[in-house]
Amino acid sequence: MDDLDRKIINVLQEGFPLTAEPYADVATQLGIEEKELLNRLSCLLENKILTRFGPMYNAQNLGGAFSLVAMQVPEKDFEKVAEVVNSYAEVAHNYQRDHDFNMWYVLATETSQQIDEVNRDIEQRTGLKIFNMPKLDEYYIGLQLAV
């Protein structure tokens, strides 16, 4: 990753234009050609520097549901369990923590019933207990991670 890749990531965290040619508009802002921007985004995704690039929807505003889930995963099984968890399209993101509850993931589903269904399925497939923590309140903090 070079300085231009960092600049691309930082600029895109500020927002994505809702215009007829959004990639061209971002490229102009960066002082590069649209094709270079698209190529670099593809490389960042292929090389797993970015795990995803796309819109973030508020599932609850669209009638869906969100939940934060924790698991206690034996270290030797972490990668195997992560593969199972990450195989669900409903898993928005999944991360490891240095804690007894060392795997945390967020589910975003069309209904609250699907939260329970996905968690039950993950529990059955992994043999591990799921600790579901549905969101009670939401606070927007405008988080950006400078690269």
Query: Long-range contacts of range 84-89, CB-CB < 8 Å, 24 or more positions apart?
Result: 84/122, 84/125, 84/126, 85/122, 85/126, 88/118, 88/121, 88/122
pLDDT of 126: 98
Q: pLDDT at residue 59 above 80? A: no
Cα 143 from chain centroid? 14
The answer to pTM > 0.85 is no
Question: Where along the chain do its domains lie?
Answer: 3-46, 60-134
- Mean pLDDT, the chain, as a whole number? 92
Kindly report the number of other CB atoms within 10 A of residue 67's CB atom.
23
Fold annotation for 60-134: Alpha-Beta Plaits (3.30.70)
Residue pLDDT, tens place only, 22-39: 999 999 999 999 999 999
Non-local (6+) Cβ contacts of 5 within 8 A are: 40, 44, 49, 147
Whole-number Å distance between alpha carbons of 81 and 74: 9
pLDDT band for 139, please (50, 70, 90 cuts): confident
